[in-house]
Structure 1
Amino acid sequence: MFPMTHRLIFTTAALALASAAHAGPKHKKAEQKSEEITVTAHHLSTTERNRRQLASIPGGTSVIDSKQVLKGRNMTNADALALQPGVFAQSSGGGDGLRLSIRGSGIQTGTNYFRSGLLMMFDGLPVTIPAGTPYELFEPLGIADIEVLRGANAFDYGGLQLGGGINYNSTTGAQAQKYQARVEGGSFGYLKEQVSSGQVVGKADYYISLTNSYRGGYQQQTRATSFGVEANFGYRFNDHVETRLFFRYRQTQNGYPGFLTRNQILNDPTQAQSPYRAIASKRIQPGSKFYADMTTLHFDDDSVLRLGVDVQDAPIDIEQQAIATIWLYQTVGAIADYQRHDHILGRVSDTDIGYLGAHNLTGWEKTQIRVSGVTGAQLASKGAGGFANASIFNAYANLPIGTVLSRYNYGGADDIIHFRNNTQIVKDFWLTLAAAIDREARAASVAYPTQSGLSTDSVNFVPRAGLRWVASPHVTLYGNISRSLQPPNDWNYMTGHYYSASALQAGLSSGATRLRNQTATTFEVGSEGNFWRNQWSISYYHSNVRNELLTVQTAASQASGTQIYGNATPTTHQGVEASLSTTLLSWGGNSLSLRQAYTWQDFRFRNDPQFGRNRLPGIPEHFYQGELHLDLKAGFYAGLIAQVSSRVSGSYDDTYFAPAYHIYNLNLGYDWPGKHRQVFLSINNIGNTHYAAIVVPGYRASGQQLAVFQPGDGLGVFAGASIGFN
């Protein structure tokens, strides 16, 4: 926050003259006096304004300030989303394809897949499309703050999915240094560079950031590279109309190591599955683009309209198997959001009416041969056996690279009209009523070598109600009950039907399977507030889920680079999301604090015919992150960070688990007081613990060691520096 002081000096000469006249000739020279009045106004930062706006939501939310995140390594969004209650964000191999889940959203979606179960946004504009969320554009550098809206608390953005929404707000010219450079690097060949510039010029402002990164990899076959550009330009026409243009570009390449068994994780997590190493498996995003505009119209002090549109172009080249899978999605998204502040019968009433849309313009997938001239036996002789369908190499051995095997087309549209009203029923007691009409359309078809297709179209009503009581200036209590709806990603339908083993397309999808929308009814109660030196938030939620979209990975599906998707019998999700920040000591501008985030996640079947009341695999029941942080007035800071996880089931029969673990990280740094200069040193996984960061479950373990785990990094040392000036 930037204080602005205005000094107004009022001279009381007239009063002095009047006083002199009243006193008569005896006081011919009146003494002139002046009075100085100081008025101080505080301008809230954009991050603080976002935090205050989310405080009106009767449910679990949080805002991540990038200034705190930038005090350490920023390799992936797992770093940016750390220490957030209810958020499970883990990276393996240093790539961008995280396992990201809130309240069980997309818990079985593997890394390097479009995200599921969350509405992801840039500056309130949708990045999530009918295919899911392309993840490569989410570079954490260049972000001002991140809004996390858990579950139905993303309703005001049009987020109706089980997990809620995450909104990344871009740095603007008003927040940036005119020139800034940052570099960080360290273990596993890691190097990341950023240069940026931003400033205000009259009624306009701009910000541009370029990033480049390389990582050789802790695990074999996990080399990762990326290059990105983020830019925005804002113009304020007058006090009532302003607009901002956005552009993002990012290209990435990530090696693919396959999955390991539990014993492989514990004994040597740096190894890769031999087949993938032998054929140099990787995933390439050759250049994804995001173009957008957001225009804001302030009609008066009590009403505002935001109109936004974005266009995405996301090409993908997945080269993980003997075949390459080439994808292209081109989409358009739009929002319209009208907010109004009123007084009705003497009570404050805030209303929000909005539209969120995302439509496929183009969506297709093509598979073609990428490994030729080698047989399955030759691969095995080189120690690269292990493909369930290794015989397919024999079929490809005499065919030219680039031979097309199959083509698929995808279509989809999401159209959501949402309404919400917050009314102060009595003093400090608020009622929230909301509802949405949601139209979901999906289409998936085989274009070659056979022809078949499937399409769905549904209109759904999604209600929500909540209560919020500001019990005191320091304590708020809330509760809500909400419906959620999550349609399958359009490519999820292409599952369940496969070409025969004798066909050249063996293992590839031969047709679509009808899937149903996942729905849930969730109630949530919680509290947030502060007392003495403590600031807390805690939520409990319980969801009854119907037709939950689950995945399973079999040896055959892994070999063809796919997972099997289907609707589950009824399931239950419940959990606790808690955070506590405590100032332990403070003296002379120095402080010692403890920040903690704990998540309990109990997701299970409800009397499934095969699995009874088994827990859903793929995610830990208990997950804790905490940081003991020292801040000195002179600029030095230090943090000791702990991450603790319970064991994670790797199969639906709950007989095979990744072990529980705890790891410790140390972060040291110096921030020059009053200057935009910073250096830091991060030591991660101090004990060099071997652990599974990501689990993509198999169906039944039946006493077998399934290859369903990907490791977290071992001991790593990283350093960085940032300098900026105006």
Structure 2
Amino acid sequence: MSVNHPPFALSRLSLRLCSVLGLSAGIALLNVAKAEEQDSSPLSSVQLDRVEVLGDKQTEAQEARQQLKRTPGGTNFIDLQSVEQGRISTNEDVFKYQPGVYAKTSNNDGTKISIRGSGLNRGPGAHASGLYETFDGLPLTGPGGTPYELKEPLWLSRVEVLRGANGFDQGALSLGGSVNYVTHTGYDAAKLKLHYEAGTHGYAKREISSGQVLGNADYYISVTDSEYDGYQDHSSGDSKGVAANFGYRFNPNLETRFYFRYRETENDTPGKLTRQQIEHDPRAANSVNAARDSKRPQPGATWLANKTTFHLDDNSRVEAGLVYHDYPMDLQEGTNRVKVAYTDVSGSLNYIRQDQLFGHESKTTLGWRTTKALPNSGVSEYVRVPVGNTAGYAVGTKTRGYTYLGSDSVLHIGNDLELLPDLWLTTGLAAIYTRRETGVTYPDTGTKVSTSDWDYAPRLGLRYVFSPDLQVYGNISRSVEPPHHWSMIWGSNKYFPAGSGAATGLQREGVKLDNQTATTLEVGSRGQDWFGNWDVALYRSWIRNELLTIETQAATSTTSQILAESNASPTIHQGVELSLDSPLWDGGSAGKLSLLQAYTYSDFHYRDDDRFGDNQLAGVPEHFYQAELRYNHPSGFYAGLNAEHASRVAVDYANSFYAAPYTIFGARLGYASPNKDWDGWIDARNLTNKRYASTVTPGYDDKGQDVARSSPGDGFGIYVGASYAFN
């Protein structure tokens, strides 16, 4: 079967959904005709007094959930209260059972997150690609990507995901869309909360937090720390951090909030293993990484921000944001030590208005956001010298220095218009300016590589609401994704010649990379029926200049691994994203039994590439399925059995070798007090101690050889946790 076309099931489902969309338009036209007929009757001129229905005001989280449901495309709403009923170590725990989101962790709290093929060939390293990520709606992602160390799950109230181009109104124009991590505030936090969890492989995590409302002000603060020995040898790590925010409402029309995050992490890096090693000795570290004592300290990232909201009237508001983000790194590998300084500043301004347009309900969003790397962003490389006969290392001769500069600016306008009763039209247009610059400053070559591009991204969508329990949608949109500034130097094939001292053999000049662009068609439906709540989306993206990363040089005892990024020939990303939450049994006072399922089908492949033809793109499984069978008792007791299945994963672009498919099982048992003051749980992972590859970082062409490109998933483990909230 040719992989140039969607699978038969995908095509058939697309036709069915298109038929439903056509039917909805027909129903809407009949309703209009009926309304016109009624208007001609004498009773049509009778005017009734306005009736106002009052109800409980929705919380901010409830409003956010409803807003996601009004999006004509795939979205996810994650309530962290349910996630915390089990181990919550990393973002892999946060994104479980979420359709369209592939999130896997290996060795440390860096998580590989891929949505619709974004960053699919990167490992769970320092910077994620292909997603626009925010804290509380304010920029986290910069020209260098998205660092992971500030994404502590315990600080979060909820997570909002708009997959693909559905993140348009957030200024997200990358292939994967937007992820918004929303922090607790004094309005949803306990006055004092204590949290502790511990388990296998030396894992322990602690938190103390407080939040409350004090008149027109509110505050939230949380302090966390953790440590672990790790499943693999040479994979221990630790972290500590603090998050806080303070809000003040001057009057009903004006409010402001200040945010602060700081976190340090330090992780040993055990390196990748072969398939044979994972099957026979998965706890071993890569011999090169162990011998050279590879580490990745993040000496302390700081994120400072303010968001101010001014309500102009009952139907319009302005939101202004300002962010300072400093995130240094210290990469210690072999005889190399790379000290990286990153500092970004960001600004955002949004005008949101709801009114009537030609007698129809309308919502308009006009937004601007920009993120710029400050001039001190750059790198210094040194020789890492062993100290005597000890295991320690010292900083030796400086080998190279270079700068990382760039900016991303987006001006976007979008509108949701109710064309006919229950039929909504979504339109949008964005103008994008991106700039990237890198240059070697030591030894000074006098050569800098600089690129700048103007581009655009239109969006068109339709959504029809048959009833509160059924809606269908479709959209077509364009995305624009610039390269990271650091990839322009690491992907270079221009090196210092012999005789250049300590810089000999290192890249001396950057290379230019084009922006990745994609046109995506999506159809889907969401709703509920006797068989449960469902959400299904089908999409197909035609991509040009896809930014793909490969390992061009494996690490040795004296050199670092080199990952080069380049623009690929045309590629296709298409897939199905499906979730279903089904009630199986309702025993009233005896409890309830339900089944939660999430399935993601990912078909990412070249389109007639000269070298690889229609090969699959390496890095993520084609089929990814997660499910949990759960029992809940009204007293607060709960128990669940869960499973995860992933198909095999290509480890090179030649598709000459694959990581094995796997299926793992787990179980949870716990109690959550109906008063919401305390809970406790036991979380068992990988019950059968299955040996499998958690993540894959692809190579170019391994010619059928079993090369070390995979990180093993954790073996059998048991974790326990408890928290108590003083309200």
TM-score, normalising length: structure 1: 0.90
Q: Which residue of 2 aligns with 1:199?
A: 212
Deviation at 1:514, TM superposition (A): 0.9
Report matched runs for 1:145-544 at 5 Å. Answer: 145-361=158-374, 362-372=376-386, 401-451=395-445, 452-494=447-489, 495-497=491-493, 498-500=495-497, 504-544=502-542
Taking a change above 3 Å as real, the CA distance of residues 158 and 182 of structure 1, as seen in their structure-2 partners, is: same
| Amino acid corresponding to residue 577 of structure 2 in structure 1 | E
The answer to whether the 8 Å contact 1:47/1:63 transfers is no
Is 1:137 the counterpart of 2:150? The answer is: yes
Distance across 2 between alignment mates of 1:346 and 1:287: 54
Residue from 62, 74, 79 that aligns with 1:65: 79
Q: 1:373: how far off?
A: 6.7
Aligned to 1:111: 124
Change (3 A) 1:351 1:266: same
Residues 529-576 of structure 1 show CA distances to partners (whole Å, capped at 9, x for unaligned) of: 111251000000000000000011134467423301100000000000
Q: Which amino acid aligns with 1:166?
A: V
The answer to whether the Cα contact below 8 Å between 2:553 and 2:561 also exists between their aligned partners in 1 is no
Cα distance in structure 1, aligned partners of 2:59 and 2:84: 17
- Deviation per residue, 1:672-706 (Å, 9 max, x gap): 22141000000000000000000001111112111
**Could you tell me how far apart the structure 2 residues matched to 1:323 and 1:105 are?**
30
Deviation per CA, 1:405-438, whole angstroms, max 9, x where unpaired? 0001011011100100111111100111100000
**Which structure has the bigger radius of gyration?**
1
Q: Secondary structure at the match of 2:208?
A: strand
Root-mean-square deviation (CA, aligned residues, Å) is 1.8
Distance 2:297 2:270 in 1: 14
Alignment partners' CA distance in 2, 1:535 and 1:561: 46
Shift of 1:274: 1.2
Determine the C-alpha separation between the residues in 2 that align with 1:299 and 1:587. 50
Q: Say if 2:100 and 2:600, in contact at 8 Å, map to a contact too.
A: yes
Provide closer, same or farther for how the CA distance between residues 418 and 371 of structure 1 changes in structure 2, counting only shifts above 3 A: same
Partner AA of 1:205 in structure 2: D
Q: Which amino acid aligns with 1:445?
A: G
Is the contact made by 2:122 and 2:697 (CA closer than 8 Å) also made in structure 1?
yes
Query: How many percent identity over aligned positions?
Result: 44
Q: Quick one: distance in 1 between partners of 2:395 and 2:411?
A: 47
Partner of 2:724: 723
The 2-side partners of 1:76 and 1:507 are apart by: 37
The answer as to whether partners of 2:603 and 2:622 remain within 8 angstroms in 1 is yes
Q: Which amino acid aligns with 2:120?
A: I
- Aligned to 1:308, the other structure's residue is in SS state strand
- Partner of 1:141: helix, strand, or coil? helix
Are 1:507 and 1:560, in contact at CA under 8 Å, matched by a contact in 2?
no
How far off its partner does 1:370 sit? 1.5
Contact 1:129 1:358 in 2 (8 A): yes
Partner of 1:701: 702
For residues 623-682 of structure 1, the C-alpha deviation after alignment (integer angstroms, 9 at most, x for no partner) is 001111111011111111111000000011101000000001111101122141000000
Specify the alignment match of 1:579 in structure 2.
Answer: 579
Q: Is the deviation greater in 448-457 or in 165-174?
A: 448-457
Report the AA paired with residue 471 of structure 1.
F
SS in 2 for 1:609: coil
- Kept in 1, the 8 Å contact 2:106–2:695? The answer is yes
Match of 1:26 in 2: none
Structure 1 range deviating more: 404-413 or 504-513: 504-513
Return the match for 2:70 from 56, 75, 89: 56
SS at match of 2:508: strand
Q: Give the residue type in structure 2 aligned to 1:454.
A: V
Q: Which residue, 550, 553, 556 being the options, matches 1:552?
A: 550
SS of the equivalent of 1:263 reads helix
The answer to whether the 8 Å contact 2:293/2:334 transfers is: no
Secondary structure class of the residue paired with 1:401: strand
Structure 1 residues 265 and 501, CA, compared in 2 at 3 Å: closer, same or farther?
farther
Shift of 1:40: 8.2
Write the distance in 2 (CA, Å) between the matches of 1:178 and 1:335: 32
Q: Does the Cα contact within 8 Å between 1:442 and 1:457 map onto a contact in 2?
A: yes
Q: Secondary structure at the match of 1:47?
A: helix
The answer for unaligned runs of 5 or more in structure 1 is 1-38, 383-396
Equivalent residue of 2:169, what SS?
Answer: helix
Whole-Å separation in 1 of the counterparts to 2:708 and 2:552: 9
Cα distance in structure 1, aligned partners of 2:522 and 2:698: 28
1:50 aligned counterpart, secondary structure: helix
- Residue identity in the other structure for 2:164: G
What corresponds to 1:609 in structure 2?
610
Once the 2 structures are TM-superposed, how far is the Cα of residue 501 of structure 1 from its aligned partner? 6.8
The 3 A distance-change label for structure 1 pair 235 and 69 is same
SS of the counterpart of 2:66? helix
Are the counterparts in 2 of residues 655 and 701 from structure 1 also a CA contact under 8 Å?
A: yes
User: Secondary structure at 1:237's aligned position in 2?
Assistant: strand
Q: Normalized against structure 2, the TM-score is what?
A: 0.90
> Which of residues 62, 76, 80 in structure 1 aligns to 2:90?
76
1:363-397 C-alpha deviation (Å, 9 max, x unpaired): 101111123479xxx99xx9xxxxxxxxxxxxxx9
What does residue 676 of structure 1 align with? 677
Amino acid at match of 2:273: L
Deviation at 1:164, TM superposition (A): 0.2
Answer yes or no: is the 8 Å Cα contact 2:92–2:104 preserved in 1: yes
**Equivalent residue number for residue 569 of structure 1:** 569
